[in-house]
Amino acid sequence: MYNKSCVIPIVKSPKDYQAYRISPHDTNRLAIVFDPNTANTSLTICVEIFDIGGKTPPNRHQLAVEMFFIIKGEGLATCDGKTIPIRAGDSLLVPPTGTHQIRNTGSERLYALCIMVPNENFAELIRSGTPVELDAEDIAVLRRLDALVPC
């Protein structure tokens, strides 16, 4: 039977992601994967890339829940004064109003998948920053080419 409500999924690859530094001196970049414009719902999904020693400024959201899944690297996550170590494979869920910060304490870039629901103007904040390019290292991590074992 034909389903009239069926929609075609949106598929993107790392070459399609738009990356930004929110402020010129930030030590992290955010590559938007999906936002309200593409997802047609109030969420933002991005990959946050922290340079060595990089961090987010302490921040909080009134309504949004924010989840981080660490793709690669290691660091420290702080929420409401509590700090825990994080590394690849770890997940962090920040409740609304939780003041939080992520810091890269490792010897390489830290990559985190970040999901914020609802959007709470997060995508707009990111897009108000300075556009930047994802480099070869970023693309290799996002495509998991860095994990391939040479023959």
> Which residues, including other chains, have CB under 8 Å from residue 15's CB and lie 6 or more apart?
139
Please check the confidence at residue 65 and state whether its pLDDT lies above 90. Answer: yes
pLDDT bracket for residue 5 (50, 70, 90): low
Q: Where are the domains of the chain?
A: 25-143
How confident is the model over 49-55, as a mean pLDDT?
97
pLDDT tens digits for 23-32? Answer: 999 999 999 9
What is the second-level CATH architecture of the domain 25-143? Answer: Sandwich (2.60)
**C-alpha 95: how far from chain center:** 16
For residue 148, what pLDDT is reported? Answer: 62
SS3 breakdown of the chain: % helix, strand, coil, rounded to 5? 15, 40, 45
Strand partners, 46: 32, 114
pLDDT tens digits for 94-150? Answer: 999 999 999 999 999 999 999 999 999 999 999 999 999 999 999 999 998 876 656
pLDDT tens digits for 78-88? Answer: 999 999 999 99
Please check the confidence at residue 1 and state whether its pLDDT lies above 60. Answer: no
Under the phi-then-psi rule, with left for phi > 0, alpha for psi from -120 to 50, and beta for the rest, what region is 85? Answer: beta
For residue 2, what pLDDT is reported? Answer: 56
For residue 50, what pLDDT is reported? Answer: 98
For residue 13, what pLDDT is reported? Answer: 87
For residue 126, what pLDDT is reported? Answer: 97
Q: Give backbone dihedrals phi and psi of 136, rounded to 5 degrees, phi first.
A: -60, -40
How confident is the model over 55-71, as a mean pLDDT?
96
Please check the confidence at residue 151 and state whether its pLDDT lies above 60. Answer: no
Return d(Cα 80, Cα 15) in angstroms, integer: 36
Please check the confidence at residue 52 and state whether its pLDDT lies above 70. Answer: yes
